[in-house]
Amino acid sequence: YIVEELALCQEADGTGLISGIPRGKAIFQEVKEGKIYSQGFDLNGGWVPLYTMHKVFAGLRDAYLHTDNEKALAVETKLGLWLEDMVKDLSEEQMDELLKCEFGGMAEVLADLAVHTGEMRFFALSERFYHKEVLDPLADKKDALAGKHANTQIPKVVAAARQYEISGNETYKEISEYFWNTVVHEHSYVIGGNSLNEHFGEAGKQNDRLGENTCETCNSYNMLKLTKHLFRWKPTAEEGDYYERALYNHILASQHPGDGSVCYFVSLDMGGHKKYNSKFDSFTCCVGSGMENHASHGNAIYFHDESKLYINQYISSRLEWKEMGVVVEQKTAYPKNGRIRIEIAASA
Ligand SMILES: [Zn+2]
């Protein structure tokens, strides 16, 4: 339904743009003409327009990926062409200015779009969203994260992971692995989350940074995404352990057990408490990613290569490994107790 409605909006506009952003058309026209100003979260006076637009791309991609909706891919492709046109005449300096404003996982969805359409022009477009200021130090294995807005940066690294998978460019791999190690070991709290008041602090000093607004939930949503990429390249118990830690202690803990509402921050403040979004009046980024979080518990239980199956999480589940003719059933009440029963059968 949403794909159909977005297609109507796109047709009505006629340029490929889909935008529910106040003053969106005017902002994007200014950007196209090279008039760009931002202080981090505003772009020409609008609130994170490209971050919002990334969500539209991602929704269309997922509709295509998970439900084979060809129209979603067609709409996404037109939007991609519109974006390509908007930035085509911008110099590198103007792109640097544009990328100062939070733009979410734009580079990731464009890399995916290149694969889904077979059009490498979208991969080239994705690489224009390489944010030098943040990614170059990571490529040099320097931790310059202190003071930076945390969740603005994590999707840029998820994008680098995807770009490595597509291009084989080792720099993207090094960025991904260095960032993962640094955030997990130097910037994460005991529940696997990171950030205070949405920002990274000094490495290894989480003890001095406890408060009501620790651990924005989106950040763990994105760190789990990154962990899945790394695990696919070279599965390690360390990555599996981090995934479990953040999934159980942050993601599961961020949802109200009764009504399903979710937390923006999970407080680690002494005597602190959780605040959940209300049903109709309080929506944050973490409500959006929170809807995905709790529909994604089955995402990283099993991995496989040609010959081996990895059981990455202890979660009751049933796996049909069709190529191998094997059915695996996992029964557990973990973490209530440590018992896990795994039944393996040949499929009929
Ligand atoms: Zn958030």
Q: Which CATH number characterizes residue 159's domain?
A: 1.50.10
Query: What total of structural domains would you count in the chain?
Result: 2
* Whether 103 and 226 share a structural domain: yes
* Whether 303 and 327 share a structural domain: no
Task: Measure the CA–CA gap between 104 and 169, rounded to whole angstroms.
Answer: 22
Strands 302-304 and 309-311: antiparallel
For 292, the domain range is 2-314
Question: What separation in Å is there between the alpha carbon of 154 and the centre of ligand 1?
Answer: 12
Please report the pLDDT score of residue 347 as a whole number: 84
- Cβ-based neighbours of 169, under 8 Å, separated by 6 or more: 163
> Tokens for 348?
């009929």
Question: What separation in Å is there between the alpha carbon of 206 and the centre of ligand 1?
Answer: 19
pLDDT tens over the chain, length 348 residues: 999 999 999 999 999 999 989 999 999 999 999 999 999 899 999 999 999 999 999 999 999 999 999 999 999 999 999 999 999 999 999 999 999 999 999 999 999 999 999 999 999 999 999 999 999 999 999 999 999 999 999 999 999 999 999 999 999 999 999 999 999 999 999 999 999 999 999 999 999 999 999 999 999 999 999 999 999 999 999 999 999 999 999 999 999 999 999 999 999 999 989 999 998 999 999 999 999 999 999 989 999 999 999 999 999 999 999 999 999 999 999 999 999 999 999 987
Question: What separation in Å is there between the alpha carbon of 218 and the centre of ligand 1?
Answer: 4
Question: What separation in Å is there between the alpha carbon of 216 and the centre of ligand 1?
Answer: 6
* Whether 157 and 22 share a structural domain: yes
Task: Measure the CA–CA gap between 250 and 268, rounded to whole angstroms.
Answer: 11
Question: What separation in Å is there between the alpha carbon of 329 and the centre of ligand 1?
Answer: 34
Question: What separation in Å is there between the alpha carbon of 197 and the centre of ligand 1?
Answer: 11
* Whether 109 and 193 share a structural domain: yes
Question: What separation in Å is there between the alpha carbon of 274 and the centre of ligand 1?
Answer: 15
* Whether 256 and 347 share a structural domain: no
Question: What separation in Å is there between the alpha carbon of 5 and the centre of ligand 1?
Answer: 26
> Tokens for 301?
């239980």
Taken in order 154, 221, 65, 70, the sign of the CA dihedral is: negative
* Whether 333 and 222 share a structural domain: no
Nearest to 242 by CA among 230, 229, 254, 227: 227
* Whether 342 and 284 share a structural domain: no
* Whether 21 and 6 share a structural domain: yes
* Whether 50 and 104 share a structural domain: yes
Q: Is the peptide bond before 335 cis (omega within 30 degrees of 0)?
A: yes
Question: What separation in Å is there between the alpha carbon of 215 and the centre of ligand 1?
Answer: 9
Residue type, 319: L
Task: Measure the CA–CA gap between 37 and 46, rounded to whole angstroms.
Answer: 10
Task: Measure the CA–CA gap between 28 and 47, rounded to whole angstroms.
Answer: 13
Q: How many residues does the chain have?
A: 348
3-state secondary structure the chain: CHHHHHHHHHHHHCCCCCCCCCCHHHHHHHHHCCCCCECCCEECCEECHHHHHHHHHHHHHHHHHHHCCHHHHHHHHHHHHHHHHHHCCCCHHHHHHHCCCCCCCHHHHHHHHHHHHCCCHHHHHHHHCCCHHHHHHHHCCCCCCCCCEHHHHHHHHHHHHHHHHHHCCHHHHHHHHHHHHHHHHHCECCCCCECECCECCCCCCHHHCCCCCECEHHHHHHHHHHHHHHHHHCCCHHHHHHHHHHHHHHHHHHECCCCCCEECECCCCCCCCCCECCCCCCCCHHHHHHHHHCCCCCCCCEEECCCCEEECCCCCEEEEEHHHCEEEEEEECCCCCCCEEEEEEECC
* Whether 216 and 330 share a structural domain: no
Question: What separation in Å is there between the alpha carbon of 32 and the centre of ligand 1?
Answer: 29
* Whether 34 and 100 share a structural domain: yes
CA dihedral angle for residue 40, residue 46, residue 51, residue 57, rounded to 10 degrees: -160
Question: What separation in Å is there between the alpha carbon of 65 and the centre of ligand 1?
Answer: 24
* Whether 129 and 157 share a structural domain: yes
Question: What separation in Å is there between the alpha carbon of 293 and the centre of ligand 1?
Answer: 12
